[in-house]
Amino acid sequence: MQKPALLFLLAACVALPLAAAEPATPAPMSPNPLLTESTLPYHLPPFDLIKAEHFMPAFAVHMATQLQEVDAIVHNPAVPTFENTIVALDRSGLLLDRVSAVFSNLAGANTNPALQKIEAEIAPKRSAHRDAIFLNPALYARVKAVYAQRDSLGLDAESKWLLERYHLDFVRAGADLSDADKTKLKALNAAIATAQTTFTQNVQKESNADALLVDTREELAGLTDSEIATAAAAATAAGQPGKFSLALLNTTGQPLLAVLKNRSVRERLMQASLARGSHGGPYDNRAVVVQIARLRAERAVLLGYPNHAAYQLADQTAHNVETVNHLLAVLAVPAVANARHEAANMQQLVGRDHANFQIDAADWALYSDKVRKILYSFDESQLKPYFELNHVLFDGVFYAAHQLYGITFKERHDLPIYQPDVRVFEVFDADGSPLALFLMDYYARPSKRGGVWMNEYVSQSTLLGTQPVVANHLNIPKPPAGQPTLLTFDEVTTAFHEFGHALHGMFSHVKYPRFSGTRVPRDFVEFPSQVNEMWAVWPAVLKNYAKHYQTGEPMPIALLNKLLAAQQFNQGHSTTELVAANVIDQAWHQLKPSEIPDDVIGFEAAALKQAGVDYPPVPPRYRSTYFSHSFSGGYSAGYYSYFWAEVLVADSVDWFKTHGGLTRENGDHFRTTLLSRGGSQEAMSLFRDFTGGEPDIKPLIKRRGLDHPPAALEFDG
C-alpha cells in the first residue's frame, strides 16, 4: 500500500536526467550512509561519508518508512492499546529523526549552497510529513481511544505522561479540525516553514555580505595584532586585499565595539549591525517578518487561539501572555533606570576627555569598560590572557562537571568530524561506564550561522537502547595559526551555559524518545543551562581554570576579587537590551492577523516606546529583521524563556550555596531530580523536586542588581 507513496517521494526528491538520443551513463552516486543505522560508536553520524546529495533521497525513504509505520498502527486489527498505538508511534521515524538532526545542524554549522537549496526544498516537505501524521484522523481515533482509558490502564507515571502528551500534541496540531480547516492548516504550515527558512538564510548570507570593510590599519586602533590579522585575512578572502573586514555577529552589539578607539568606525559597525535585513537588497527580511507574523497569527486563530503568543504559551510553564507581560513590565522600569545611571557615568568620562558627543549605542561597550576600570580597577584586556580556550574547557567546564557529577572526558581522534575545528570527547560516568559523546564546535566561520546552540544527534532512550550524542556550538573568532584562543568573560560564561544544555542531554535517563534530554517546555529548557553558568565564577572553579596562557600562573587574587565584585556591573544595559528584544517578540505575536502592520521598523519603535524601553543608547539585543530566535521558529513568542529560567535559576543558585556548593552530593541531587528526567514529568514539578519550593522573581531582581542604582562614578579632576 505504501509503495506508491515511496515512489512519489523519491520522484519528488531525486532529479532524473532528461531523455537523450543516446542513453547517457549517469555518474555513479556513492553509497548513501544515511539510509541505514550508523555503525560508529554511539551511532555517531559518519560525517566523512555524508554528502549533500545523500539528504533528499534519505529524507524520502525515511519519511515513507515512517508513514508505513503509522499505517501499520492505523490498520492494526487489535483494539487500540498503549503499546500498539502510543509506544509504536514513539518508536516510529527513528532514522528520519537522525537524518533530520544531521541535516539541520550541518545547515547551521557548516552550510554551503547545496545544503541551502535542500533546506529551502525540504522545509515544506517536512512540515507536510508532520501534518500527515498528526492530522491523520484514523491515527488520532486510536490515540483518543487509549487516552479515554488513561486512568484504568495501570500505567506508570512516565507512560501515563507520554499518553497525555501525545494526545495534547494531536490536539495542538489541529487533529480536531474539520477536513476543510485541516487543508487550510497544512497550507499555512508549509508556508510558515518556507518563510522561516528564507529568513534564516537571509540572516546568514547578509552577515557575510555586509561585513564592515575598513581601509587602513590605523582605523583599527584598539584591536590586537591577532585581531587585525584576522580582519586582514577575511578581507583578502573576500577579494579585498590590503583592507580589513570586520564580520558581523548575530547580536546587535558587536564584540569589537568594546576596543575600537575610532568613533567613526564604531558608528559604522553599529549602524551596519542595526541595519541588517532592513536596507533593501536581496537579503532584506522586512517583508519576510510580516509574512511570518501574519501566517502564524492566521494559524493560531484557526486552532482556536486569539494570537500566536497565546497558542505558544498555552503549552509552556508560563501558560499565558498576561504572565509574560507582567514579567517584562516588572523588569523594564528598574532596568532602564539603571541603564540611564550607567550612561550618566560614561558621559562623565566623555566630558573629562573634553569630547563633544552624547553616549550612544556605538560607544557603550568601550566606555562601560572604562567605567568598570575606574570602579573596579580592571578591564577586559586584563582578563583575556587568563581565559585561554583549553584551560577554560578542561580546567573549568569539564572540571566543574567532574566535581559535581564524577564524570570524566577522553578526547577521541579516531571518529569522523564534519569540519577540522570540531573536537570529539567520549564521556564516562562516575563508575567508569560509557555515558555519551560530546562534540565541540567553538569557532566562527562564514559557513556557520550566528549565535550559540546545543543539539543532539542521537537522543537517549532505554526503549531504543540509545545513548546521547550531543554538541555545543559557539562563534568565537578564530585567531591566526599558532596564536592562542583567548576568550572574553562573556564567551567563558557562554561555554558554561551551553555545556549546561549538553549535560541535560547527556544525563537523560528516560524510557521514551519523546522525553529525552532537552525535550522540555521551551521556557524551561534554559533553566539547567543557566544554573551551570554559576560554576564559571565559583571561586574553586575560577581559580582552577583562570591561568595565564603564557606562564600558567593563576589569575591574581586581587584581579579575581575584582571580577567577582563586578558581576552586577552594567546590568541595566544587559537587562534593558533583553527586555527590548522580548517586547519585540511578544508585540509581533500578540496580534490578530488583521493587526499585522507592514511597517516593520515603525512597529518596532512604537512597541518599544509603549513598553518604556525605547532608550537609543541601549538598542534591543535583536531587531526583528535578524531576530533568528523569534522568526526562525524555535523561540517565537518564547524569547522570554531566558528571563523565566533566570527566575528559577536565582532560587537554584541559592539552593546550591545553602547546601554547600560544588559537591558530589549536590550534583547528584540535581542530576537525579531534574537533569535525568528530561520531559518525563511536568516541568515545574521537577523544579519543586529539586529545590523543595516555589519560584520567586525577587531573587532575580536582586541578582541583577536592579534593586538599587549602580555605583556612581567618582574621580579627581
Domain that holds residue 91: 3-16+31-176
pLDDT tens digits along 169-224: 999 999 999 999 999 999 999 999 999 999 999 998 988 788 999 999 999 999 99
Q: Is residue 240 part of a domain?
A: yes
Domain boundary among 131, 158, 176: 176
- Can you give the CATH number for the domain in which 49 is found? 1.10.1370.40
SS3 521: coil
Contact 265, 245 (CB under 8 A): no
Is 421 found in the same domain as 556? yes
On the question of pLDDT at 669 being above 90, the answer is yes
In the Cβ-directed half-sphere of 527, how many Cα atoms lie within 13 Å?
Answer: 29
Which amino acid makes up residue 386?
Y
Domain identity same for 647 and 507: yes
Check pLDDT > 70 for residue 14. no
Q: Of 330, 394, 663, 713, which Cα lies nearest the Cα of 545?
A: 394
Radius of gyration of the chain (CA): 26
User: What amino acid positions are annotated as catalytic residues?
Assistant: 498
Is there a single domain that holds both residue 412 and residue 441? yes
Cell of 162: 507520554
Q: Is the same domain home to 151 and 80?
A: yes
- Distance between CA 644 and CA 513 in Å, rounded? 26
Residues 149 and 236 in one domain: no
d(CA 595, CA 300): 14
Looking at the structure, do residues 513 and 612 belong to the same domain, yes or no? Answer: no
Contacts of 110 (CB under 8 A, 6+ apart): 418, 419, 445, 447, 448
DSSP summary character for residue 34: T
pLDDT surpassing 60 at residue 12: no
pLDDT at position 59: 97
Structural domain includes residue 184? no
- How does pLDDT run across 444-491, given as a tens digit for each residue? 998 998 889 999 999 999 999 999 999 999 999 999 899 999 999 999
Task: Report in angstroms the alpha-carbon separations of 30 from 50, 65, 105, 124, 212.
Answer: 9, 22, 22, 27, 41
Q: Please give the single-letter amino acid code of residue 713.
A: L
Q: Do 460 and 605 share a structural domain?
A: no
Tell me the pLDDT tens digit for each residue of 611-623. 999 999 999 999 9
- Separation CA 626–CA 707 (nearest Å): 32
The tally of domains found in the chain comes to 4
Inside any domain, residue 539: yes
Of 126, 155, 176, which residue constitutes the final position of a domain? 176
Residue 711 lies in a domain: no
Whether residue 581 sits in one domain with residue 617: yes
Share of the chain above pLDDT 70, in %: 96
What 3-state DSSP class applies to 597? coil
Domain termination residue (choose one: 616, 639, 662): 639
For the segment 33-90, what is each residue's pLDDT rounded down to a tens digit? 999 999 999 999 999 999 999 999 999 999 999 999 999 999 999 999 999 999 999 9
| CATH number, domain containing residue 590 | 1.10.1370.10
Place of cell 549536590: 666
Residues 344 and 390 in one domain: no
Residue 713 within a domain: no
Instruction: Find the largest Cα–Cα distance for the chain.
Output: 90
Report the alpha-carbon angle 236-238-240, nearest 5.
Answer: 55
Q: Is residue 191 part of a domain?
A: no
Phi-psi region of 660 (alpha: psi -120 to 50; beta: other; left: phi over 0): left
Beta bridge partners of 408: 428
715 pLDDT more than 70: no
What's the pLDDT score for residue 66? 98
Q: Could you tell me the pLDDT band of residue 133, with boundaries at 50, 70 and 90?
A: very high
Domain co-membership, 542 together with 625: no
Q: What is the mean pLDDT of the segment spanning 260-287?
A: 96
- Encode pLDDT of 497-550 as tens digits: 999 999 999 999 999 999 999 999 989 999 999 999 999 999 999 999 999 999
Cα 652 from Cα 53, distance rounded (Å): 47
Residue 147 lies inside a defined structural domain of this protein:
yes
pLDDT for 518? 96
CA distances from 496 to 340, 387, 492, 534 (A): 30, 13, 7, 8
**Separation of alpha carbons 252 and 577, rounded Å:** 9
Q: Are residues 418 and 313 in the same domain?
A: no
- For 345, 366, 371, the CA distances from 714, given in Å and listed in that order, are 9, 18, 10
* Structure confidence at residue 231 as a pLDDT band (50, 70, 90): very high
- The secondary structure element, H or E, covering residue 543 is helix 539-545
Q: 263 and 133: one domain?
A: no
Cβ-count burial 271-302 (b if 16+ within 10 Å, e if not) = ebbbebbbeeeebbbbebbbbbbbbbbbbbbb
